[in-house]
Amino acid sequence: MKIKLFLLLSLVLLNYSGYSQDKNFYIFLCFGQSNMEGNPRFEQQDTIADERFKVLQAVDCPERQRVKNTWYNAVPPLCRCNTGLSPADYFGKTMLAHLPAKVKIGIINVSVAGSKIEIFDKDHHQIYLETAPEWMKKMAAEYNGNPYARLVELAKLAQKAGVIKGILLHQGESNTNDTLWTQKVKGVYTNLLNDLKLKAKSVPLLAGEVVNADQGGVCASMNKIIAKLPEVIPNAYVISSAGCASGKDRLHFTAEGCRKLGKRYGVKMLAILGHKVDEPE
């Protein structure tokens, strides 16, 4: 009996010791549509690597020597192989600039250009994709046809290495004037918490505004709906896009605007973590 008990205890300890989670490795889940995946072309200044800033590759990119499910230094593109600069890029850079040297930042970015929030509906995404254009279906196919499930799969893998500290969302252009958007986002957020065994109070949701009215944003009316998200999700925070430069289409941020927006995500997350930092102008 004693021998059996010893063997059982040894097995438990062996399994425990094999779980090398670093509590100073902060993981952030990012999802949304084109502005989150990265629309503007990144520039040389955006590609400076930092060993403390990592991305968990979501898809295979042989042309960039990246393999899915593997951690790499976080330089753009952080989403798929040919996406551009994302707010997540400067979110991470801003976080590292104000956190202790022992802390690392990890990003997971699963986003689909042009998609409604319905594409991340755990139970009904397939209904949405059935009527989606072929180019969107091809993007979703890179996530095995289920962006939500792919995000959860990557998040569970990341939890073996670090701790999920927050969720970043930039979506809404394709749901402009949809008054049910906040409830739909709540559904995705709740499912993520449940599937990843997370607590709402320790995993805030940061949602960025779409291109602002001050930039002539064609979907700027959506910001009034986005503003109501904290009424539905108590631990949600809205990131202002005021003054973030827009491209000619007035839908997407320029690289400059994207950097500013990303820094604002970072400043807000730092404040939530107890680090007061001045917001970039």
Annotated catalytic sites, by residue? 34, 249, 252
HSE-up of residue 73 (Cα within 13 Å, Cβ side): 9
Q: How far is CA 125 from CA 157, 240, 242, in A?
A: 22, 28, 32
**Three-state secondary-structure class, residue 136:** helix
DSSP at 42 = P
Please, which residues have CB within 8 angstroms of residue 188's CB and are 6 or more apart in sequence? Answer: 31, 117, 120, 121, 122, 148
Number of C-beta neighbours around residue 220 at 10 A: 20
Peptide bond into 133 cis (omega under 30): no
Tokens of 180: 């049910």
